[in-house]
Amino acid sequence: MAIKRIGVLTGGGDCPGLNPTIRAIVRKALKENIPVTGIRNGWKGLIEKDTVRLDLNSVSGILPKGGTILGTSRTNPYKEKGDLEKTKKNLSALKLDALIAIGGDDTLGAASKLFKEGLKIVGVPKTIDNDLSCTDFTFGFDTAVNIATEAIDRLHTTAESHHRIMVVEIMGRHAGWIATYAGLAGGADILLIPEIPIDMNEVCDIIKTRHERGKDFSIVVVAEGAKLKDRELVLKTEKKDAFGNVLLGGIGHTIGKELGERTGFETRVTVLGHIQRGGTPTAFDRVLATRFGVRAVELVLNGEFGQMVALKGNEIVSVPLEAAVGTLKTVDMRLYEIAKIFFG
């Protein structure tokens, strides 16, 4: 069928690179004389029929801006009764011949289900956690790593001056990609990630040994989803979002308190939190997002629905949405073994 109008939405947590993707989609579609409708606040906007017309003026100047001009939410179209029917009905009512969904595992998981129900959808991978399968990198990740690395660099000088242990809590719910990359780049002395349960005896031994050889400060990087051996996951609250995700946070303070008590060394904790999500995207993320956006429109024009754009090596390819969201991509243990060379 001929594509006469495309819809685009951004769902889940925001990250640098969303606006460059939107810009690329609009520019490419308009070049093909296809108008674009922006859907506000992710799946919530499609359920509530909340849209905005996107034209050249709409996307002018947004390339270096973080966040998303469309807004976002963690709304799940399969959560509340009647929302799925509204989603399908409104897609037709808005006369959208195809939909480009930009998001992470939750947003694209919903997109994969909707495709199976007959909706014409293409996915674009977005997450600072870099945990989506079938793509080497997601946009937003490089920016988050750069922000976290700069923070670690800055903490080095104050840690050394005051002879302290500095614990840095970094985002990473199920996968420790940001912590591993930033820890390697920032010269962290210990990396603690969700993929490997934390042995506090081993952590304390490494720090004590380091101090015994004359290094009277240490940098410990921990991903928010990291878990201590034989203990429950540290949470801010038991409340869950529409996709069943709990609110993580607090592992840094738990580690810091225990390190201080068991080693006797003065310890401080820094939680980077949403700082990693904000601000202008790096050049790498701007280019990757732009390439993803252009390729997504090409998939729509070719009728290749149920696909997600992906980076393989230096090529932009397409992969089935179902495969991309089926299994989380966790940290390559070969990379973590390299990081361990520098522990302590």
DSSP 80-97: STTHHHHHHHHHHHTT-S
Do the two domains 6-139+281-326 and 144-277 of this chain adopt the same fold? yes
Cα 291–chain centre separation: 18
Domain boundary assignment for the chain = 6-139+281-326, 144-277
Question: What sign for the dihedral angle of Cα 119, 122, 123, 124?
Answer: negative
Question: What sign for the dihedral angle of Cα 189, 191, 197, 200?
Answer: positive
Q: What is the pLDDT of residue 230?
A: 77
Residue 28 class from Cβ within 10 Å (0-12 exposed, 13-18 middle, 19+ buried)?
buried
Give catalytic residues, as residue numbers. Answer: 129
Q: At what angle do helices 333-340 and 177-186 cross, to 10 degrees?
A: 30
> CA torsion angle for 15, 20, 24, 30 (degrees, to 10)?
100
List all residues 6 or more positions away from 343 whose beta carbon is below 8 Å from its beta carbon.
Answer: 189, 190, 191, 206
List all residues 6 or more positions away from 88 whose beta carbon is below 8 Å from its beta carbon.
Answer: 114, 117, 119
**b/e code 86-106 from CB counts within 10 Å (16+ = b):** bbbebbeeeebbbbbbbbbbb
The neighbouring-strand residues paired with 52 are 38
Return the residue matching tokens 């988050």. Answer: 144
CA-wise closest residue to 8 among 276, 16, 19: 19
The helix or strand, by DSSP H or E, that contains position 307, with its residue range, turns out to be strand 307-312
The neighbouring-strand residues paired with 327 are none
pLDDT tens, the chain, 344 aa long: 689 999 999 999 899 999 999 999 999 999 999 999 999 999 999 999 999 999 999 999 999 999 999 999 999 999 889 999 999 999 999 999 999 999 999 999 999 999 999 999 999 999 999 999 999 999 999 999 999 999 999 999 999 999 999 999 999 988 999 999 999 999 999 999 999 999 999 999 999 999 899 889 999 999 999 999 876 666 555 565 555 665 566 899 999 999 999 999 999 999 998 899 899 999 999 999 999 999 999 999 999 999 999 999 999 999 999 999 989 999 999 999 999 998 87
Pick the CATH number of 6-139+281-326 from 2.60.120.10, 3.30.420.40, 1.20.990.10, 3.40.50.450: 3.40.50.450
Model pLDDT for residues 301-323, shown as the tens digit of each residue: 999 999 999 999 999 999 999 99
Q: What is the pLDDT of residue 244?
A: 60
**What's phi and psi for 114, nearest 5 deg?**
-65, -35
Q: Tell me the longest C-alpha to C-alpha distance in the chain.
A: 71
Q: What is the pLDDT of residue 128?
A: 95
The domain 144-277 belongs to what CATH superfamily? Answer: Phosphofructokinase domain (3.40.50.460)
Q: What share of the chain is helix, strand, coil (3-state, %, to 5)?
A: 40, 20, 40
pTM (whole model) above 0.75: yes
